[in-house]
Amino acid sequence: MASGCGEFEQWILEIHKFQREQNPVYRDFCAGFPDPVSWKDIPAVPVSAFKTADLRSFSEEKTIRTFETSGTTGGQPGRHHFCSLSLYLQSAVRGWINAGIPAGGVVSLISHASDAPASSLSQMASWLAPKSRCYFNRREELMEWLLISPRTVLFGTALAFLDLFLWMGNQRLTLPAGSFAVETGGYKGTRRELPKSDLYLLFHDRLGLEADSVWNEYGMTELSSQFYTSGIGKPHLSPPWARGVVLDPMSGTEVADGETGILRLFDAANLGSVCAIQTRDLAIRRGADFELIGRDPAALPRGCSLAADELLS
């Protein structure tokens, strides 16, 4: 996979050219755009396109796996097709290590891939933690493990951790030194919402973890790579083979450092679909990285919000 900035640009432009040739839907989409000179010029499909279009850069009969979005907002789920899981595997494992998270002793609060084959998050969790250390909806057994375990890394959704903390009630424990937690954020499909700062206070109160020992993983079904940050108020760091750009929805150009806009992602590991995706997420540009705000373009001022809708469509 790519490492330096120049190498990334070479890789991503070559991947874009391949996808423009091999992906009929993307080829039609790109027809209205000039050939990119820089990686930032690569046409990005709206993330919603995965719900309505067949975005394959290979023939349909070569598909070995299709991951689906949760579809909690109603309508058809987004679908991401794969002819091989090799790059996704490398990206998931190497991205975790690249962020500085210990790769050993991972304990999952996410359903195993064998029980949720359409979930890309479950697939990732199953690569990082063996099924014997999958404690999805097995809180009593998880607590027994935590009481005797050495250094551990807990991996789960924000909702799974919140449910665990509520279930624990007045129980408190201190995980061994060097332990971490990785939460994936979001409370999809529920009416429950908790500010990140409050959730991280619960990590400290229930598990004895300081905020900097809690990581957030930002990813989506439509991607093959993830972005990580630890603690509160820090930017998400890109792996060497992916980038994020924060755009002004009015002009479609990159915002200045410290300004807010709509996040566009470029992922060289998305070889079998499209490497450039326009998200619905708000973010603040932090140099070459970004600080995620949330998934609500309507939170922008009205003129910018209307421009964001046009950009996303």
Residue pLDDT, tens place only, 30-89: 998 999 999 999 999 999 999 999 999 999 999 999 999 975 555 789 999 999 999 999
Is residue 110 located within the same domain as residue 146? yes
Q: Would 47 be classed as within a structural domain?
A: yes
Q: What is the CATH number of the domain that holds 19?
A: 2.30.38.10
pTM of the model as a whole? 0.91
Q: Would 73 be classed as within a structural domain?
A: no
Residue pLDDT, tens place only, 133-170: 999 999 999 999 999 988 999 999 999 999 999 999 99
Q: Would 66 be classed as within a structural domain?
A: no
Is residue 94 located within the same domain as residue 225? yes
Confidence of residue 307 (pLDDT cuts 50, 70, 90): very low
Is residue 213 located within the same domain as residue 271? no
Cα–Cα distances in angstroms (integers) from residue 55 to residues 17, 44, 275, in the given order: 15, 12, 11
Please list the alpha-helical segments (H only) found in the chain.
5-22, 24-30, 49-52, 86-99, 120-128, 139-148, 158-168, 196-207, 302-312
Q: Would 119 be classed as within a structural domain?
A: yes
Contact residues for 272 (Cβ-Cβ < 8 A; gap 6+): 56, 57, 58, 81, 82, 83, 84
Is residue 34 located within the same domain as residue 92? no
| Chain centroid offset of residue 69 CA | 12
Is residue 221 located within the same domain as residue 93? yes
Domain tally, the chain: 2
Q: Would 122 be classed as within a structural domain?
A: yes
Q: Would 72 be classed as within a structural domain?
A: no
Is residue 109 located within the same domain as residue 89? yes
Residue 96's domain spans which residues?
85-234
Q: Would 25 be classed as within a structural domain?
A: yes
